């Protein structure tokens, strides 16, 4: 039993919801009419290839992007009504794909976390340094690394700092956008294990965006498959990946397993995206 879940009593509560949301930049529409509910303690996956809109959807879920149509709500309130310093902000946090870009290059790990603790969680400055150290240790960072700047840390260590920062103020939901794509296989396993542990410990909900179906299968209960801005299939991860119903899902699954696809003839290769 590897996945945490909250007791059924709280299942009716919705943390973040997207209602018929369309997203885009300028005149380009990247996500079309997508609806989605995230409940406490659940782990939801969003799968798709490049250009599918999954990262854009993640941005909207965390409140960083205003929808062109529809709305995204957090605990019933639309994100556009939630201001920068609103405490609601803390409840949804994000983990990024490139851990180096996600850290201020001039701050040590401890400094970065301390700042979050004092500014966002209201921890007194005197205590912040120590609490930061504890959080970082919990995230698996060893002694000397805690006071090191990002350029001295490995990819896995940086990602741990990013995770520590994201959980510092006890969020309810963690949105992870390809958190392990740029990491070595053995480090990826460490980070995924860490996420699983933290979820169990704190009852966190998780939205995991990934192109890697195996990771999704391992980490999530339900998932959505996206293609060109649309959700083509959704359901329990196990079912979607072992008995895919939509043709695109089937191709995706087959691609990951290395079996012969149904369109394996000479010029029948799938349209290169």
Partner 1 sequence: MTATTQAGSQTEPAPGLRRRSWRLRRIHVPSWLVVVAAAIPILIVILGFLLPTITGYSTSAFVAQPLQAPSWAHPFGTDQFGRDILVRCFAASHIDYLVAVVGVGISATLGSLIGVAVASTRLKWIDWAVMRIADAVIAFPFIVLALAFVVVFGSDTGFLGLPQGMPALFAAFLLVGWAYYARLARSQAVSLRSRDFVTAARLMGYSNARISLRHVMPIVMATTMAYAVGDAIITVSLTASLSFLGAGIGPPAPEWGQMMFDGRSLLEIAWWMTLFPALLLVVSGLCLAIIADHSIKRIEDRA
Partner 2 sequence: MIDSHVRDGAGPDGEATSATVAEIGGLAISIAGREIVSRVDLAIAASESVGLVGESGSGKSVTCRSLIGMLGFIGASITSGQVRIAGRDMTSASQRQWRQLRGTTVSLVPQASLAGLDPLIRVGAQLSEVIRRFDSRADTAARSLELLDQVQMRRPGEVLRAYPHELSGGMRQRAMIALAIAGRPKLLIADEATTALDATVQRSVLQLLTRLRAELGMALLLVSHDLGVVRTATDRVAVMYAGTVVEQAASTRIFNRPRHPYTAGLTAADPALVPPGQRLRSLLGDPPQPGAWAAGCRFAPRCGYRQEVCDESLPPLIVAADGDAVACVRAAEISL
* Binding residues for partner 1 (CB under 8 A): 62-64, 84-86, 89-90, 92-94, 96, 98, 100-106, 115-116, 119-120, 144-145, 148, 151-158, 162, 165-166, 169, 182-185, 187
Smallest separation (angstroms) from partner 1 to the CB of 247 = 30
Residue 103 binds what, of partner 2, partner 1, none (CB under 5 to 8 Å, by partner type)?
partner 1
Quick one: which of 263, 80, 79, 269 has its CA closest to 175?
79
Give 117 or 224: the residue with its C-beta nearer to partner 2: 224
Residue 176 binds what, of partner 1, partner 2, none (CB under 5 to 8 Å, by partner type)?
none
What residues are paired with 21 via a beta bridge? Answer: 34
H/E stretch holding 142? none
Smallest separation (angstroms) from partner 1 to the CB of 90 = 7
Residue 96 binds what, of partner 2, partner 1, none (CB under 5 to 8 Å, by partner type)?
partner 1
Smallest separation (angstroms) from partner 1 to the CB of 83 = 9
Give 28 or 186: the residue with its C-beta nearer to partner 2: 186
C-alpha triplet 51, 52, 54: angle, nearest 5°: 110
Q: What strand order describes the sheet that includes 173-177?
A: 92-95, 173-177, 205-210, 43-48, 222-227, 230-236
For residue 30, with 0-12 CB atoms within 10 Å meaning exposed, 13-18 middle and 19 or more buried, which class applies? Answer: buried
C-alpha triplet 30, 32, 34: angle, nearest 5°: 120
H/E stretch holding 209? strand 205-210
Residue 249 binds what, of partner 2, partner 1, none (CB under 5 to 8 Å, by partner type)?
none
Residue 126 binds what, of partner 1, partner 2, none (CB under 5 to 8 Å, by partner type)?
none
Q: Which residues bind partner 2 (CB under 8 A)?
A: 2, 49-50, 154, 156-157, 184-190, 192-193, 196, 211-215, 217-219, 238, 251-252, 254-256, 258, 261, 264, 266-267, 269-270, 272-273
R_g of the chain, CA atoms, integer Å: 19
Smallest separation (angstroms) from partner 1 to the CB of 64 = 6
Smallest separation (angstroms) from partner 1 to the CB of 189 = 12
Q: What is the Cβ-side half-sphere exposure of residue 203, based on CA atoms within 13 angstroms?
A: 10
Residue found by looking up tokens 């639309």 in the block: 78
């Amino acid at each position: 039993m590897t996945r945490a879940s909250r007791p059924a009593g709280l299942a009716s509560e919705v943390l973040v919801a997207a209602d018929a949301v369309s997203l885009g930049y300028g005149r380009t529409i990247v996500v079309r009419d997508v609806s989605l509910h995230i409940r406490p303690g659940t782990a939801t996956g969003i799968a798709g290839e490049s250009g599918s809109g999954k990262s854009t959807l993640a941005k909207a879920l965390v409140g960083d992007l205003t929808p062109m149509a529809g709305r995204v709500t957090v605990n019933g309130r639309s994100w556009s009504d939630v201001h920068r310093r609103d405490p609601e902000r803390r409840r949804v946090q994000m983990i990024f794909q490139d851990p180096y870009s996600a850290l201020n290059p001039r701050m040590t790990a401890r400094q970065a976390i301390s700042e979050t603790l004092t500014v966002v969680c209201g921890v007194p400055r005197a205590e912040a340094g120590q609490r930061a150290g504890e959080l970082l240790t919990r995230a698996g960072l060893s002694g000397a690394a805690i006071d090191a700047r990002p350029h001295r840390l490995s990819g896995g260590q940086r990602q741990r700092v990013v995770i520590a920062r994201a959980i510092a103020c006890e969020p309810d939901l963690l949105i992870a956008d390809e958190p392990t794509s740029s990491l070595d296989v053995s480090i990826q396993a460490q980070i995924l294990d860490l996420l699983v542990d933290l979820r169990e410990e704190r009852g966190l909900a998780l939205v995991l965006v990934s192109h890697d179906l195996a990771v999704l299968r391992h980490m999530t209960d339900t998932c959505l498959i996206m293609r060109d801005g649309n959700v083509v299939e959704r359901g329990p991860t196990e079912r979607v990946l072992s008995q895919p119903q939509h043709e695109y899902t089937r191709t995706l699954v087959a691609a990951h397993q290395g079996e012969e696809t149904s369109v394996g003839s000479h010029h029948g290769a799938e349209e290169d995206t």
